[in-house]
Amino acid sequence: MKTYELLAIFKPNLDAEEIDKAVEAVSSVIVNFGGKVDSVDKIGRKKLAFDVQSFRDGFFTSMILALPADKVAEFKRQLRLNDNIIRTMFVEMSKKAAV
């Protein structure tokens, strides 16, 4: 399994309880795909550089996760289907080179 970082921006009109449920829903999708969540960092509400889906700000979360490579495409599709998420960035984390 490879390690990935997911930065997700949730709609700003969700309250703290709904944000927790949305993050838990994303975590359960990862576990269902055979992965694991290493850490979740709820960064908080931030102003966006430009309007995204007519929202001026959003609730940022960062997740470090491990996921099988064959499940990545389906996981990205599940993120796009989630109505509470307005933008995502999903990148593979590289290992640091030993010098």
The predicted pLDDT at position 97 comes to: 59
Q: Which CATH architecture has domain 2-92?
A: 2-Layer Sandwich (3.30)
Q: Where along the chain do its domains lie? A: 2-92
Q: Are 5 and 61 in contact (CB under 8 A)?
A: no
The predicted pLDDT at position 98 comes to: 64
Cα 92 from Cα 65, distance rounded (Å): 10
The predicted pLDDT at position 67 comes to: 93
What does pTM read for this prediction? Answer: 0.87
Q: Are 82 and 25 in contact (CB under 8 A)?
A: yes
Provide the residue-wise pLDDT of the chain in tens; the chain has 99 residues: 899 999 999 999 999 999 999 999 999 999 999 999 999 999 999 999 999 999 999 999 999 999 998 999 999 999 999 999 999 999 998 877 566
